[in-house]
Structure 1
């Protein structure tokens, strides 16, 4: 499936994206705030493309034929939390050099439209770390509303507080 917005193309990840993904995802400002470690090699990124990013409804966010981030809907049992039947969890990230241009909002808005119109999803949840004001702002602009305060554990087994939000069809 390929989705198009005014500025972006959302498409499946390809093996040939591995080097580009690595160059974005090695940045320690990207993964840890989202709960995953920075990529350590192109091979690491290729493995992520072939496993995590190969799941349905996970897309490369592409600008001018270059992947600049990722957006996806996660479904039980692949999401971070079980939210109930006919639900999905929204996840996204954008490379640092593309921050502040509305791309996370634009890509997420298109995927939300697909979820509600084509996938029979009734509610979409998302979580963000309390210190991640950028993600909070994206979700607020998308219309998400507060759902719950939560505690979670990251890849380093560190506990952290996060906020869960929900968007209903």
Structure 2
């Protein structure tokens, strides 16, 4: 469902990102295919230098449908940036992509916390974040950061995924699956 970024997928991703329901909420905006190609190359180089982590989200046929990124990594914490192309909204790709990404971040890359900064106008992303059982509101716990982000007229909400809460969710989910498997075998 995820793979490292590749320049060959830029044309498809640029077309998906350009949709008016997607473009306003994308962090790395490109106004032409050439600019998107350049930004993707910069992203790949920044990942090689440990500045960010970026993956392409794939559908079940391995077609690129969006991206998921961890930006501004500092003290084992970073900001999540995710987008899916409009044809893939509401089809169930968001949650499994996030869970695969979080597993890689927390258990392979030693990230301790992921922060989501969501524009108050982006109700789709707010609802998606609030559905995740391992997400907590960070408006109060990271008040200084929120004030800094909203200082220049923006209006963001902060959410956080701490590694320990994600791990607890993963362990509970595994236990529930094992119990269901045991019942099916009995």
TM-score band, normalised by shorter chain: 0.7 to 0.9
Q: TM-score, normalised by structure 2?
A: 0.71
Which consecutive residues of structure 1, in runs of 5 or more, have no partner in the other structure?
A: 1-8, 77-83
Match of 1:80 in 2: none
**Cα gap change, 1:53/1:140 in structure 2, threshold over 3 Å: closer, same or farther?**
farther
Match of 2:31 in 1: 40
Match of 1:21 in 2: 13
Task: Report the RMSD for the aligned CA atoms in angstroms.
Answer: 2.1
Cα distance in 1, alignment partners of residues 147 and 28 from structure 2: 18
Shift of 1:41: 2.2
Match of 2:161 in 1: 167
Q: List, as ranges, runs of 4+ consecutive aligned residues in structure 1 with deviation greater than 6 Å.
A: none
After superposition, give the CA deviation of every residue in 1:83-116 in whole Å (9 maximum; x if it has no partner). Answer: x622122210000110001212111111111122
Q: Which has the greater radius of gyration?
A: 2
After superposition, give the CA deviation of every residue in 1:118-148 in whole Å (9 maximum; x if it has no partner). Answer: 2222211111011212211222222211112
Choose the corresponding residue for 2:107, options 101, 111, 117.
117
Q: TM-score, normalised by structure 1?
A: 0.77
Choose the corresponding residue for 2:118, options 120, 128, 149.
128
Match of 1:71 in 2: 68
Q: What is the aligned residue count?
A: 149
Cα distance in 2, alignment partners of residues 120 and 73 from structure 1: 13
Which consecutive residues of structure 2, in runs of 5 or more, have no partner in the other structure?
A: 48-52, 140-145, 164-186
Shift of 1:55: 3.7
